[in-house]
Chains A and B, each alone.
Chain A
Amino acid sequence: MIERGKDKIKPVIGMEIHAQLATESKLFCRCVNRFGDPPNTNICPVCMGLPGALPVLNLRAVELGIRVGLALNCRAPDVTKWDRKSYYYPDLPKNYQISQFDSPLCVNGYMEIPEEGGGVKKVRIIRAHLEEDAGKNIHDYPSHTCVDLNRAGVPLLEIVSEPDMNSAGEVLYYAKMMQRLVRWVSAGDANMEMGQIRFEPNINLHITRNEKIYKTPIVEVKNLNSFRSLEATVEYEIERQYDEWLEDPAAYTLEALGKQNRGFDVNSGMTVYQREKEEAHDYRYFPEPDLTPVEIGAEWRESIRLSLPELPMEREKRYKLDLRLNDRKIQMLIQDKALGDLFDGSVSLGAPPGTAANLLSGKGAALANLNNCRISDLGIKPDQLAELSKMLSESKIVSTTASELFERMIAENHSPMDIARKENLLIQRDPGVLEHWIDEVIDENPGAKEEVLSGGKKQDKAFGFLMGKVMQKSRGRSEPGEVQRLLKARLIE
């Protein structure tokens, strides 16, 4: 809730998400489902909409769609069917899209997101249905537009939420968590830059003034191609709608103006009214006569459910309750499935969870940043992580050494213990050797020794200085606690 003077503003936001499914071939034909190929090289009579061509369903898309739906706590009804959605556009070869109207693949689910101000809230999902993607219009040429049909027919899952979100922050969470989920259940790659996941927020405000509620028109924004644009759009719209409403509270309302389309201009950071999208589309839905309804038997549905991996929420719970990791570490570990899998793998091989998590969130995150990739893409193996974690927690190495070994074990593809042994990096346990180093340092720094023994103000600093020298001399092979004990003892003598 935002307060402006006497007005209380509640942003009310829903979202439509289109996620491409990672099937081998398109939804209704055998063409390859692949991004980036030269234009019009993955096409056939069916996805080109040539006369006489007929669609044939790719069941894998149904399976992947149900995976996502079940992961969103949806119900997948026994029967689902196809409908034609008609509109004219050059990137839509048949000038109708095969979609689902009144019997969508999945219904009535939810996703939990962190709520503004703490806690968790459910964003309800009305439905998730399958439909074919359109091709692409390319406007690169001054005198004409080209149409590339490679993308025409690629399977999309359209996920529609209730307007349960109330801030840009919540919208961003929802979007990112949806992206994570689609990847998590291996349904798609969901890269925004490649158009594999698309977000369309619909935003309006419920403004309470003098105990009366005013609703602004619902604005839908399309063609957002980054999370930043998504967040900026929502923030901008909240402000813009309130400003526009202030100018004429009686006229700028949902009842009067209904739904509007706007586009986001990245350069100005503003949304812009789009007149051409204002013509109300009558999609003239009717059942697709070329395809039979799809029966989802209980057996198949169950087998899909059973094939789902541990989902983010479940994993989060387990890390919290069973492993007792702190929230920050948990959020890091569940950012993608592969990272948690790596972590779990190392724990199953004996890694102390806390240590392993620390290594990943510390050195792991730093390396990932440097290489502009995810931690799980660095190439760490569970056994390597397990070994290193154990070495650290058993005090066989100091943490700076652990850091160095982390990087090297990946680069050299070796076991960290092998590297440490070969290069003599393990903590020196022999008191004789330690005392020898300590003696050398004391001899080399008589002034410091004096300062420590003198007991004056500089005593601690000098002691620290000597400690540092010993650590240096040991080249990471001494344990600070042990050095401290022995140094103290030595000096007192």
Chain B
Amino acid sequence: MSIRLSALELRDSLVRGELSVKELVQDYLDRITELDSHLDAFNSVFAERSIDKARELDKLRGADVNRYPLFGLPIAVKDNLCTSYGHTTCSSRILADFQAPYTATAVARLEDAGAVIIGKANMDEFAMGSSTENSAFKTTRNPWNPAHVPGGSSGGPAAAVSAGLCAAALGSDTGGSIRQPAAFCGIVGLKPTYGRVSRYGLVAYGSSLDQIGPLARDTTDCALLAGVIAGYDPADSTSVNADVPDYLGKINEPPSNLTIGLPEEFYTDALNSEIRKSLEDASSIFSSLGAKIIQVHLPHSRIDINGSGELSSYAVACYYIIAMAEASSNLSRYDGVHYGYRTDAKVEDIVDLYSKSRSEGFGEEVKRRIMLGTYTLSSGYYDAYYLKALKVRRLIKSDFDRAFKDCDILLCPVSPTTAFRLGEKTLDPLSMYLQDIYTLSLNLSGLPGLALPCGISKSRLPIGMQLIGPVFSEEKLFRAARMFERETGLSRLDPYRMNGEKVNGEENS
């Protein structure tokens, strides 16, 4: 039952007393028990705590209940969001036993709004990856087809939402880690404007790139969560002190006189033809709804393919230099001294303790990025790499600013392919990095991006598109997305059903 309803509908149902919170939470817990052993979306499930919270909420009545926008909703949070209960592991051995003494601001806001945090979801280790295959613990599967990846790094939250194991979830996006899994799993995911949501309590990967955002089954649910988590937090010096609009208020009002830009640089041969067709169709739908469609240019986000079929892009290079540099610094605190994993091996001295603990505790991809990041920041290389990347970053942002002089929002692909098979890209890190070619420009420029489904591929995998706007334009993005959703009915997609028939999710063809 739950999987058919939206979070908003569930909340209203709970508020009206048609359903008790305990019943709903139990329903989700049962569903997790039934499906998660196959999906592996969760690192930990807070069964007892959730029931306790549910009981507490059920005691509230009347006016009290209306104060909670997320009343009784079971929500999963990515395992890089600190909670003062359970563990916060970032799907890494080095934090496998880490118990945070505090809760991330965004998560606390969910709880204050009446949500029940049902569990911590799996991810690529330290959010480094685009498939959730870099998790040190388990590999999450795509509910649409368990032989395929759910995307990453927020693969766990995305799969959980898509499979109806929670009403909605929080993920984090540094280079596309909310939007790409949202697209792969056929759900809606928002990367907010940088500074819109507090990062306090989000285990840092790329400090100038990270944002926490909601993953949900439709646009309205996404807006519901966004409204709760957004807003200034004095504990985060990079959070912006600006009012949060009422995202739900006018969400069903289609934006009038909408001009939509299609960046020429994103619609190249790098893009899979099925996805391109789906986006063209989406563009036509927007057109039929009254929007004006124009071509725009984002020169520094251009993607080139060389003779050997290798993709390259300024934006990708710029992103990885900055992200890896910041990551190498943010992850230096994991040293086996203060908390987290410490080697059991015999050590000669403190340096030996550091090296063994970190070598044993970190996975391959994390170590790769730390080393590359350290290199780009090192003496003699800083100017050529990091400093240069900061300058290119400016240029990438300027491209968007210029484009937004001529249009309101951009319509872009999210990923060059649909969900690929498990193991398909793990042998070549670079091919994995290139998954982010359409998403990472936003992290570099700080702009908001909303990913939502725009079609299903021939092999029955979701196709997603991305709506991008100027800073703090989330409200307009939601309205445009909602307009599209209502026209196409492409929301609350059920991976286990197709045309009314239940599909067991095993691989077709």
- Indicate which residue in A57, A95, A291, A292 contacts B335 across the interface (CB closer than 8 Å): A95
B104 CB-CB contact with A under 8 Å: yes
Whether the pair A49, B237 counts as a contact (CB closer than 8 A) is no
Please report the C-alpha to C-alpha distance between residue A88 and residue B354 in the assembled complex, in whole angstroms. Answer: 9
Other than A84-B329, A95-B333, A284-B382, give 12 A-B pairs with Cβ distance below 8 A. Answer: A50-B100, A52-B80, A52-B200, A52-B203, A56-B234, A88-B335, A88-B354, A95-B332, A95-B335, A96-B329, A284-B329, A286-B325
Q: In the assembled complex, how far is the CB of residue A268 from the closest CB belonging to chain B, in whole angstroms? A: 26
With CB as the reference atom, state the residue of chain B lying closest to A288. Answer: B207
Asked if residues B354 and A282 are in contact (CB atoms below 8 Å), the reply is: no
- Assuming the A-B contacts A88-B332, A284-B374, are A54 and B237 also in contact, with contact meaning beta carbons closer than 8 angstroms in the complex? yes
A51 touches B100 (CB 8 A): yes
Q: How many residues of B contact A (CB 8 A)?
A: 42
Interface bits B221-265 vs A (CB < 8 Å: 1, else 0): 000000000000011111000000000000000000000000000
A285 and B377 alpha carbons, distance in the complex (Å): 7
**Chain B residues whose C-beta falls within 8 Å of the C-beta of A54 in the assembled complex:** 199-200, 235-238
Nearest-CB residue, chain A, relative to B234: A56
- Report which B residues bind A (CB closer than 8 A): 80-82, 88, 90, 95, 98, 100-102, 104, 199-204, 207-208, 234-238, 325-326, 329, 332-333, 335, 337-339, 350-351, 354, 374, 377-379, 382, 386
Which residues 254-289 in A have Cβ within 8 Å of B in the complex? 282, 284-286, 289
Instruction: Determine the chain A residues whose CB is within 8 A of the CB of B234 once the complex forms.
Output: 56
For the complex formed, measure the closest distance between the CB of A144 and the CB atoms of chain B, giving whole angstroms. Answer: 11
Q: Chain A contacts of B88 at CB under 8 A?
A: 51-52
With A51-B90, A52-B204, A54-B235 known as contacts, the answer to whether A147 contacts B199 (CB < 8 A) is no
Q: Is A125 in the interface zone, CB < 8 Å from B?
A: no
| A-B pairs with beta carbons under 8 Å apart, 11 shown | A50-B102, A51-B90, A51-B100, A52-B82, A52-B100, A52-B104, A53-B201, A54-B235, A95-B333, A95-B335, A286-B325
Most buried by B among A48, A95, A291: A95
A90 is contacted by which of B80, B200, B202, B337 (Cβ under 8 Å)?
Answer: B337
A290/B325 contact (C-beta < 8 A), A50-B101, A50-B339, A284-B374 known: no
- Chain B residues with CB under 8 Å of A55's CB are 237
Picked from A86, A285, A292, the residue with its CB within 8 Å of the CB of B332 is A86
Closest to B208 in A: A289
Most B C-beta atoms less than 10 A away, residue of A94, A147, A285: A94
> Is A57 touching B237 in the complex (CB atoms < 8 A)?
yes
Contacts known (A57-B237, A84-B329, A95-B333); A286 close to B377, Cβ less than 8 A: yes
A contact residues vs B (CB 8 Å cutoff): 45, 48-57, 84, 86, 88, 90, 93-96, 147, 282, 284-286, 289-292
Q: In chain A, what residue has the closest Cβ to B339?
A: A50
Min CB gap A326→B, angstroms? 54
CB distance from A28 to the nearest CB of B (A): 9
For A147, list chain B residues within 8 Å (CB): 337-338
Best-surrounded residue of B98, B201, B326, B337 (most CB of chain A within 10 A): B337
Q: Is the CB of A52 within 8 A of B202?
A: yes
Interface contact B338-A53, CB-CB below 8 Å: no
B380 (CB) vs chain A CBs: closest residue: A282
B82 interface neighbour in A48, A51, A94, A290, Cβ under 8 Å:
A51
Q: Which residue of A lies closest to B387 (CB)?
A: A286
Q: Which of B80, B201, B325 has the most CB of A within 10 A?
A: B201
Q: Which of B95, B238, B351 contacts A51 (CB 8 A)?
A: B95
Residue of B nearest to A84 (CB): B329
Give the residues in chain B near A286, CB-CB below 8 Å.
325, 329, 377, 382, 386
B164 to chain A, nearest CB (A): 29
Instruction: Indicate if the CB atoms of A284 and B377 lie closer than 8 Å.
Output: yes
Q: How far is the CB of B193 from chain A (nearest CB, A)?
A: 16
Q: Which residue of B lies closest to A29 (CB)?
A: B235
Are B386's CB and A96's CB within 8 A? no
Q: A88-B332, A290-B237 are in contact. Are A51 and B203 (CB under 8 A)?
A: yes
List the B side residues contacting A50 at CB < 8 Å: 82, 100-102, 339
- How far apart are the CA atoms of A120 and B258 in the complex, in Å? 73
Q: A51-B88, A90-B350, A286-B325 are in contact. Are A56 and B237 (CB under 8 A)?
A: yes
Complex Cα distance A63/B263, Å? 48
Please name the residue on chain A nearest to B379 by beta carbon: A282
Instruction: Give the Cβ gap from A381 to chain B, nearest Cβ, in Å.
Output: 44
A375 to chain B, nearest CB (A): 45
Q: Are B237 and A292 in contact (CB under 8 A)?
A: yes
Q: Say whether B338 contacts A49, CB under 8 Å.
A: yes
Residue of B nearest to A49 (CB): B333
Distance (whole angstroms) from the CB of A261 to the closest CB of chain B: 18
B207 in contact with A290 (CB, 8 Å): yes
- Nearest residue (CB) in A for B201 is A52
B319: min CB distance to chain A, Å: 14
**What chain B residues lie within 8 Å of A51 (beta carbons)?**
82, 88, 90, 95, 98, 100, 203-204, 333
- Cα distance A289–B210 in the bound complex, in angstroms: 11
Q: Which residue of chain A has the shortest Cβ distance to B206 in the bound complex? A: A289
A45 vs chain B, min Cβ distance (A) = 6
Q: Which residues of A contact B98 (CB under 8 A)?
A: 51
Closest CB in chain A relative to B268 CB, distance in Å: 32
Chain B hits for A285, CB < 8 A: 382
How far apart are A352's CB and chain B's nearest CB, in angstroms? Answer: 56
Which residues in A have their C-beta under 8 angstroms from that of B81?
Answer: 52
Asked if B238 and A94 sit within 8 Å, CB to CB, the answer is: no
Neighbouring A residues of B80 by C-beta, 8 Å: 52
A45 touches B207 (CB 8 A): no
Question: Given A52-B100, A52-B203, is A284 in contact with B379 using a C-beta cutoff of 8 Å?
Answer: yes
Given contacts A48-B338, A93-B338, A286-B382, contact A53 B332 (CB under 8 A): no
What residue of chain B has the Cβ atom nearest to residue A281's Cβ? B379
Residues in B neighbouring A96, C-beta threshold 8 A: 329, 332
Using A45-B101, A292-B237 as known contacts, say yes or no to A86 and B95 having CB atoms under 8 A apart: no
Cα(A94)–Cα(B337), bound, Å: 11
Chain A proximity of B208: nearest CB distance (Å): 4
Q: Which residues in B have their C-beta under 8 angstroms from that of A95?
A: 332-333, 335
User: In the complex, how many angstroms separate the beta carbon of A79 from the nearest chain B beta carbon?
Assistant: 16
CB of A305, distance to nearest CB on chain B (Å): 27
* Given contact pairs A52-B202, A284-B382, A86 touches B329 in the complex (Cβ within 8 A): yes
